[in-house]
Amino acid sequence: MTTDNRLTVLVIEDNRAIQANIADYFTMQGAVVDFALDGRRGAELALQHYYDVIVLDLTLPRLDGLDVCTLLRCKASRHIPILMLTARDSLQHKLDGFSAGTDDYLVKPFDLAELWVRVRVLARRYVQQHHQLALGNISLNRHLHQVCCNSQLIELKPIGFQLLSILLETYPRPVSRSELCSKIWGDEPTESDALRSHLYQLRKILQQHGASVSIETQSGVGFALKAESVT
C-alpha cells in the first residue's frame, strides 16, 4: 500500500464505461486508480509500478487476460494480487484463470461494492502473508518495522530498512541502482553517492552482527542478496 495506506489499484479493462464506473467508485473509497485499455500496456504498467491489486479483464486487445496473468507471474519480482473480470462464467473458464495465476474471479455484470470488498480482501491477505521476510539467519517484519539476526534485534535507519526489505523481497533477482532509488526516493532528486553510502552502512551492520546474508554488487546489473551457509 502507499505510505498513506490508500490502496493503489491497476484496472486493465478495454470498456471505457466500466472503467469510468470503477474509477468513480474506487476513488470515492479513497483508492488511487490507474488504467490500461489493452493487455500489453497493462502488463507494462504492472511491471513498472507498484500496485496493491490488479483488476484484470479476461477479453482484451493485444494480450488477453490469461496471457497478462501468466506474463506477470513469470516476470514480476513479487506476487501481485490479481482479480479477473469476465462475462464467461463456465467452470472451465474459471479453472483456466486460476491456472494462469489469478487470485480471485468475478463474473460480469458485477456489483461495484462487491468488487471493492474483494479488492480490499486481496490486498489485506497479501500484506498479512508478506510482511514477514526471511533469508539465512536474517528476518524482517515490515509490520513491526523490525530486523533480527539470530533472533537478536538489529537497529537499522529507515533507508537501510527499506533497502534490506526491497532486496529480501526481490531475492534472488538483482535490483538495478535506478530501481532502488525509485522505490526509496521516488521522483525526489538525490545525491549521486546517497545510495552507495546507505548500502555501505547496511553491509557493515550485517557483517557486524554475523549475518549469513551479504549484499553482492553485480557489475552493470545491480545489487542482490547472497545467502551463505551458516556453520
Task: Tell me the average pLDDT of the chain.
Answer: 86
Average pLDDT over residues 192-201: 89
pLDDT tens, 157-183? 999 999 998 898 888 888 888 888 888
141, three cell numbers: 517484519
Average pLDDT over residues 214-220: 90
Does the pTM of the predicted model rise above 0.75? no
More confident residue, 212 or 92: 212
What are the structural domains, with CATH classification, of the chain? 8-130 (3.40.50.2300), 132-227 (1.10.10.10)
pLDDT tens, 23-67? 999 999 999 999 999 999 999 999 988 898 999 999 899 999 899
Q: How far apart are CA 103 and CA 94, in angstroms?
A: 11
